[in-house]
Amino acid sequence: MIYEAKKILLKNGKTVVLRSPSEDDWQAMIDYITCLASETPYILREPDECDDTEQSERAFIRRYNESRLECMIAVFDGDKVVGNCNLSIKNRNKVRHRAVLAIGLRKSHYRLGIGTTLITELSIIARSVGCTQFELEYVDGNYRAKGLYEKCGFVEVGRMPRGVRFEDGTYADEVLMVKPL
């Protein structure tokens, strides 16, 4: 799915552009995900797992843009990608009402309202294709994510105990949240 460009005003008075990345944004997307993986322990990828190539990143972007069931929105501050979110709708008829979201931002752009805006935009898309339920997972201890999701109306419905193992051998639960659309 393609998300058409939209300019949004942030809490600091600056603007960013939300749009589906094009294949030509492959380098900016790799730079972004590499930065994200080094800035937060709360996404699954570690920095040494950011080994995308031009070819693999172009294919990844193309997959989202051509899909009926998936959508990616990237956040552009000038030419730089500073955030992104993905929507994935389940494929079979019995579960086609369920949309799963994932979201991330560079630290430089935390707390400016971007997370809230991205969830609002994804909700509109999910509803427009008939989804009635929004789902996500976050890693226990990620208080920023918990705060954002609770503010947007998600509630905890379950946990995968020790769902994540960090490099130092400690574990954290994966928390499952749901919101009606």
Site for ligand COA in 65-124 (CB under 6 A): 103-105, 110-116
Residues 6+ apart with CB under 8 A from 92: none
Minimum CB distance to ligand COA smaller for 40 or for 133:
40
Site for ligand COA in 32-71 (CB under 6 A): 40, 42-43
- In sequence order, what are the beta bridge partners of 175? 138, 159
Outline where the chain has alpha helix (H). Answer: 26-39, 54-66, 114-128, 143-151
Residues 6+ apart with CB under 8 A from 140: 159, 172, 173, 174, 175
Site for ligand COA in 120-149 (CB under 6 A): 138, 142-145, 147-148
Minimum CB distance to ligand COA smaller for 23 or for 70:
70
Minimum CB distance to ligand COA smaller for 19 or for 111:
111
Q: Please give the residue ranges that form the binding site for ligand COA (CB under 6 A).
A: 40, 42-43, 103-105, 110-116, 138, 142-145, 147-148, 151
